[in-house]
Amino acid sequence: MNESLFSLRGRRALVTGGAGPLGSVLADALAGQGCDVIISDVNAGACNDAAAAIADRHGVNAIGIASDLLSSEGTTRLVESVDGPLDVLVNNAAFTGTSGVPGYAVPFEEQSDEAFELASSLNLRAPFSLARQLAPKLAQSPGGSIINVSSIYGIVGPNMGLYEGTRMGNPAAYGATKGGVVQLTRYLSTVLAPKVRVNAFAPGGIARGQADSFTERYEKLTPLGRMATEDDFRGVVVWLASDASRYVTGQTIAVDGGWSAW
């Protein structure tokens, strides 16, 4: 395949959660192909630091925009802050299983309605709202693309045995909202076609210092025999943002080392 199909030079992307461990890598991967980037996260200093590092590393235009996507007002303020063209939207901001929200990553009987609603607002409402409000801008691009970040737990149910003897949990709200992202991706791919493509990718478990017992169990259930690193998702975000995937829409791609194949 012609390598130029992967070039993103002259394009501009917004990455939510862009100052976090995964979001910063996704933004860096896009910038590595010449894409200008907008880094959005809740902390202004972290946004600006991440944008400055990317600009220095890749010579692209990169800016940070602080935004609290937990509220509809915060989502709208982010949209209003995006001046100029936009070609790619990466909906990455989310509460994960280690986010520390009370009543969230605890045993099922202790999970709360409040935590479920909070996760739903960030994990599912925010991607919907950003896609809805930014769709007209994305439609003006010759390569408009929305990339939603789901999870393997948006595709399959949790294996709770992985967590035995650890302090980790698997919130119902996480799987429910990430499954919602999969269906939202299908929905948006049809209503925004043909001007905007909409796809998602579903990361497998990322190694972040989990308990050894968890890691060993997880790796035994993964055909490639290891947990992911953030760098494992560079290729898929570039592919989905670029013309290399120009005939792909409505898909959720599992990037999970084969976890969901068993």
pLDDT in tens, 81-139: 999 999 999 999 999 877 788 999 999 999 999 999 999 999 999 999 999 999 999 99
What is the arrangement of strands in the sheet containing 36-41, beginning at the earlier edge strand? Answer: 62-66, 36-41, 12-16, 88-91, 144-149, 196-203, 252-255
Has 187 been annotated as catalytic? no
Say what the pTM is: 0.97
pLDDT, tens digit (0-9, with 9 covering 90-100), for 1-51? 456 899 999 999 999 999 999 999 999 999 999 999 999 999 999 999 999
The beta strands (E) that lie in 45-193 are given as 62-66, 88-91, 144-149
> Per residue in 181-209, pLDDT tens?
999 999 999 999 999 999 999 999 999 99
Average pLDDT over residues 74-86: 98
End-to-end CA distance of the chain: 30
The per-residue pLDDT for 1 is 44
Class of domain 3-261 (CATH, top level): alpha beta
Q: Considering 153, 174, 218, 247, which one is annotated as catalytic?
A: 174
Reply yes or no on whether the pLDDT at 230 is more than 70: yes
Q: What is the pLDDT of residues 132-169, one digit of tens each?
A: 999 999 999 999 999 999 999 999 999 999 999 998 98
Instruction: Give yes or no for residue 63 having a pLDDT over 50.
Output: yes
- Average pLDDT over the chain, rounded to an integer: 96
